[in-house]
Amino acid sequence: MAKSNELPRPTDAELEILTVLWSRGPATVRDVHSIISRRRPAHYTTVLKLMQIMTDKGLVKRDEKQRAHIYSASRPREWTQRQLAGDLLERAFAGSASSLLVGALAARKASAAELAELRKLVGEYEEDKR
Amino acid sequence: MTLDHWLAAPLAHALGRALAHFLWQGALLAVALRAALFLGTERSSRWRHQAAAACLLALPLAFGITLALLLSGGHPIMAPPQAAPRMVFGPVIAQGAPAAPVDWLAWLAPLWMGGVILFYAFRLAGWVRIDRMRRRGVCAAPAEWQQRLRALAAAVRVSQPVELLESCLAGVPQVIGYWRPVILVPLGALAGLSAEQVEAILIHELAHIRRADYLVGLAQSLIEGLFFFHPAVWWISAVVRAEREYACDDVVVALRCDARAYAAALTKLEQSRWPAAYAAAAANGGNLVRRISRLLGEPAPARVPSARASALAGALVLVVAVATALVVWPPARSFAQAAPPAESTVDKQDQAKGSDPARRSLEQLEELLAAKQEEIQEAEQAAGKAQELLRRNAAELEPALQNAGGHPDEFAKAEEQVRKAEAALKELESQADESQKLLDEQRMATLLRQLAAGQAGKSQQLQELEKQLQELSNGKFHEALRKQRQQIAQAELALKQAGAAYGDQSLEQIQKQLQQAEKELDQFNQGVMIGVARASKYWGQGSNSPLAQAQPESPRPQAMTELGAAYQKWLNEDVAYIITDPERRDFLALKTDADRDQFIEKFWQRRDPTPGTPENQFKEEHYRRIAYANEHFASSIPGWQTDRGRIYITYGPPDQLSVSKMENVLRQVWRYTYIDGLGYDIEVEFTDTGKTDDFHMTAAPASRGSYWQVTAKSPGETQAIVQSLRAKGFQALAGRSGFGGGAFRVGAEAASTSKSVMLETGSVLVGPYPDEASLAKAKAALEAEGFQPMRAQ
């Protein structure tokens, strides 16, 4: 936290807004609110207030050139993801959580060698397609 | 409970042995699964997944059955001693269970438990973290995709509503939850892949939901945690995971047919996944290369983990060997030990401790008894000491008194001696207190004896104990007291003689002191007697104690004030509701049982409606009512104590009974035509709110009045009736006068006499009445107007 260029870690509510901005790109408060309220009831003013606070914190940037202000995330998602992943608790339980994970890909990231092999296998497919 | 105690418990032994057995059971199941998978190479992934899952489920089953068998008797199926230990598939424990407990095996249980708890704690934390991903850093996916997902869900036959969310925390697409499942896709995945590829991924996730893999994964986690120490379990679990992915891949290919596009999608996802937060421990992945080769129909690449597999196989063989050694070794040793059975006392004790808690408690009881015996011996010694003290005092007192006869100077000395005797008495008294305490303790010993009375072989010891108690409290004390009394009488005599000789004033004083001493002695004596009586009462409860027989005439004064149980029951139960206060006082003042019997007889005679006949209808009816109440109204309390029981016993069965139910509240209204002292038309209301199992009185017996009815043919006629009733003294109820709500009240006889009339409906409420005469008068007036009594209001 000491470094000036380090942004504060976003709260859960702020993270949600950031997710929307990363997903849909630069958007107005109204856009963000409409996406958030699809998942849970939220007040427009709450979202507006939150986004103003985030602007002050530097988490989002505000483009005031148009009448409706357009917000965008100030950092790419990878940056924030890395910041969140650095959480000690997250790391401590990540292994335990990953064994409960059900999904298309394994919890463990493929190694460089495996990736190369994968690319080769799929590359053959891409070539076949042509 | 210390760890040592715990380790000695049969559960610890059973657990330790079950865990040792599990080593070979787990290995065996893994080998069985390997064989089944080998045989089913050509089968579908679904079949292979099911086989692996069944194998995983068999693990806790085998362990549980083993533990149950070991706990229930320890020798489930005893193999003949000479037979070689057989390996039996499944949960059967064929090897002769080791008869001699191997101590270090018991240590396995706490270590294992600690490990399981640690494991579960971590898994729980992981689960909380995963579940949090449902809400944290997510946003709803574009509506088009949500719609597309619904169509795909129908195709995969997923019935529960599925939510599609984009997550900035999820590195890979994943499913969370089963009943309200959520599919999380990493941010950018939807945009980065072609629509066809996204669909393929979504089908894969939907297949997971359809197959309830989230729940299977949780169960899997529980089993892994339980048997964290066994590599075979981890292997089986990994097979389940791998086959699960293959099975879902198969669903995708079956629905979309384009395996290559799907393989490309998986590769792209893998490439684009963000720097892994969970690169750490998880070793369950890494089969993507094989999955994709499988999808593309390529031969599986030379298996890198073959070295690992052979290491695993080696570990398995090792584990099986060790487990077998463990299981086979103890019986061999125990057979060697069993040859000279006389020497295996340690085993026997151990068995007695483990298998026979009754015997253990008996041993404790015996120990307690021995301790009590010791205390009794101490008491005996104290009694002996007291006796000696008395004797010595008497010996000193006698010559002093004799001397006092000769010289007046010696009188002072005699006085001194008497004072000493008094002091000695006091000491004796304090010792008596102590003896009383000991008697209390002996009582406890007696109770313990009663507990142990059933045990053969102990009775002799107990008889001895009893005899000692008897001697102590009966014989020795009495002897001592008798002697003391004698000595004091002698001293008195000597003093009298001395007084005759000198006529001294101080002699009287001494005599007074002596009397005082005697009185105190009496008190002390009485105290001892009461103590003995109490003790004998306790002994009397047990067997035919010789002491109880020796003390038939209890020195306790005849119970002058205490009531026998039968009389108490009569007073507080039989006639509790009908006895008057003066009668109760009189009864309680009675001193003897004969008086009480006489009182009871007279009590019923006073109430007999037909005196002179042998039957007493009142008494019979009264006891019938009690019996009826107990039979019909009993709830958590006896029937006669309930509200309804009380009213029934006091006033008898109601003349009318109306029952209603409103909003689960049961209501009973009992109506009596007349109750002596209360008046006419008495109602009692009981309600049962359902909260208790009983009706409670909500309106005490009181006259509610009775309704009279007349049919008025016209308003004019009604008016005439009103005027007529008014003339007869009926008054309109306050605020309800006139024809509109014509309720009327009558005050004919006295201010308290009120009657009311409901004219509009043609009915009249009459009552309550203080006496029959006023009721009759009101009735006559109403009948003259053509009113009819209305019943069952």
Give Dmax over CA atoms of chain B in angstroms: 142
For the four alpha carbons of B416, B421, B424 and B426, in that order, the dihedral sign comes to: negative
- Supply the DSSP symbol for B456: T
CATH number for B404: 1.20.1050
* Chain A residues touching residue B270 (CB < 8 angstroms): 105, 109-110, 115, 118
* Chain A residues touching residue B172 (CB < 8 angstroms): 101, 103-107
E strand spans, A6-116: 60-63, 70-73, 102-103
Whether B332 and B391 map to the same domain: the answer is no
Q: In this structure, is residue B768 part of a structural domain?
A: yes
Whether B217 and B325 map to the same domain: the answer is no
Q: Given an 8 Å threshold on Cβ–Cβ distance, is B260 in contact with A128?
A: yes
Q: Read off the pLDDT of residues B6-27 as tens digits, 9 standing for 90 and up.
A: 767 778 888 888 888 888 888 8
Count of the separate structural domains present in chain A: 2
pLDDT band at B668 (very low <50, low <70, confident <90, very high): confident
Stretch A114-124: mean pLDDT, rounded? 72
> Which pLDDT value is given to residue B324?
62
Whether A64 and A115 map to the same domain: the answer is no
More confident call, B555 vs B324: B324
Whether A17 and A44 map to the same domain: the answer is yes
Count of the separate structural domains present in chain B: 5
Residues 6+ apart with CB under 8 A from B665: B687, B688, B689, B690
* pLDDT tops 90 at residue B117: yes
- Decide if B22 contacts B62 (C-beta within 8 A): yes
Whether A70 and A119 map to the same domain: the answer is no
* Chain B residues touching residue A93 (CB < 8 angstroms): 122, 125-126, 129
Whether B490 and B536 map to the same domain: the answer is yes
More confident call, A69 vs B557: A69
- Could you say which of B543, B570, B598 is where a domain stops? B543
Q: Given an 8 Å threshold on Cβ–Cβ distance, is A78 in contact with B274?
A: yes
Whether A51 and A19 map to the same domain: the answer is yes
More confident call, B408 vs B611: B611
> Which pLDDT value is given to residue A85?
66
Tokens of residue B552, six digits: 């038939």
Q: Which residues constitute the domain of residue B675?
A: 633-704
Stretch B259-265: mean pLDDT, rounded? 82
Average pLDDT, chain B: 70
Q: Read off the pLDDT of residues B328-372 as tens digits, 9 standing for 90 and up.
A: 455 434 433 333 333 333 344 444 444 455 566 567 767 777 776
Q: In this structure, is residue B122 part of a structural domain?
A: yes
* pLDDT tops 80 at residue A19: yes
Q: Given an 8 Å threshold on Cβ–Cβ distance, is B260 in contact with A84?
A: no
Whether A37 and A72 map to the same domain: the answer is yes
Whether A49 and A72 map to the same domain: the answer is yes
* Chain A residues touching residue B123 (CB < 8 angstroms): 96, 99-100
> Which pLDDT value is given to residue B60?
92
Q: Which of B131, B139, B270 to mutate to test the interface with A (most CBs of A within 10 A)?
A: B139
Of B71-80, B103-112, B731-740, the range with the highest mean pLDDT is B103-112
Number of CB pairs, chain A paired with chain B, less than 8 A apart: 210
> Which pLDDT value is given to residue B581?
84
Whether B142 and B99 map to the same domain: the answer is no
CATH number for A19: 1.10.10.10
* pLDDT tops 80 at residue A21: yes
Helix-strand-coil split of chain B, %, nearest 5: 65, 10, 25
Stretch B174-193: mean pLDDT, rounded? 86
Whether B317 and B431 map to the same domain: the answer is no
Stretch A6-23: mean pLDDT, rounded? 85
* Chain A residues touching residue B301 (CB < 8 angstroms): 117
Q: Read off the pLDDT of residues A38-66 as tens digits, 9 standing for 90 and up.
A: 888 888 899 999 999 999 988 888 888 88
Beta bridge partners of B707: B765, B790
More confident call, B204 vs B547: B204
> Which pLDDT value is given to residue B182?
92
Q: CA of A113, closest CA in chain B: separation in Å?
A: 10
More confident call, A88 vs B191: B191
Of B12-16, B477-481, B730-734, the range with the highest mean pLDDT is B12-16
Whether B70 and B209 map to the same domain: the answer is no
CA separation (Å) from B327 to B13, B92, B433, B624? 14, 13, 64, 73
* pLDDT tops 90 at residue B597: no
Stretch B652-680: mean pLDDT, rounded? 78
Q: Given an 8 Å threshold on Cβ–Cβ distance, is B172 in contact with A104?
A: yes
> Which pLDDT value is given to residue B710?
62
* Chain A residues touching residue B173 (CB < 8 angstroms): 103-105
Q: What does pTM read for this prediction?
A: 0.46
Distance of CA B136 to the CA centre of its chain: 44
Whether B379 and B525 map to the same domain: the answer is yes
Q: In this structure, is residue B499 part of a structural domain?
A: yes
Q: CA of A68, closest CA in chain B: separation in Å?
A: 22
- Decide if B411 contacts B404 (C-beta within 8 A): yes
Q: In this structure, is residue A116 part of a structural domain?
A: yes
Whether A51 and A97 map to the same domain: the answer is no
* pLDDT tops 70 at residue B413: no
CA angle B262, B266, B272 (to 5 degrees): 140
Whether A67 and A94 map to the same domain: the answer is no
Whether A48 and A71 map to the same domain: the answer is yes
Q: In this structure, is residue A6 part of a structural domain?
A: no
pLDDT band at A87 (very low <50, low <70, confident <90, very high): low
Residues 6+ apart with CB under 8 A from B687: B665, B666, B667, B668, B695, B696, B698
Q: What is the DSSP string of B181-241?
A: -EEEEETTHHHHS-HHHHHHHHHHHHHHHHTTHHHHHHHHHHHHHHTTT-HHHHHHHHHHH
Residue of A20, A98, A114 lying closest to B288 (CB–CB): A114
pLDDT band at B323 (very low <50, low <70, confident <90, very high): low
ipTM of the complex: 0.82
Q: Which residues constitute the domain of residue A53?
A: 12-77
* pLDDT tops 60 at residue B72: yes
Whether A37 and A94 map to the same domain: the answer is no
Stretch B411-432: mean pLDDT, rounded? 73
> Which pLDDT value is given to residue B733?
45
> Which pLDDT value is given to residue B91?
40
Alpha-helical runs (H) found in B296-408: 306-338, 345-355, 357-406
pLDDT band at B258 (very low <50, low <70, confident <90, very high): confident
Q: In this structure, is residue B568 part of a structural domain?
A: no
* pLDDT tops 60 at residue A128: no
Q: CA of B684, closest CA in chain A: separation in Å?
A: 57
> Which pLDDT value is given to residue B434?
79
Whether B220 and B146 map to the same domain: the answer is yes
Q: Given an 8 Å threshold on Cβ–Cβ distance, is B280 in contact with A95?
A: yes
Q: Read off the pLDDT of residues B274-317 as tens digits, 9 standing for 90 and up.
A: 554 443 333 334 577 777 777 777 655 544 444 566 667 767 76
> Which pLDDT value is given to residue A88?
58
* pLDDT tops 80 at residue B651: yes
Whether A105 and A54 map to the same domain: the answer is no
> Which pLDDT value is given to residue B75?
47
pLDDT band at A23 (very low <50, low <70, confident <90, very high): confident
> Which pLDDT value is given to residue B115?
92
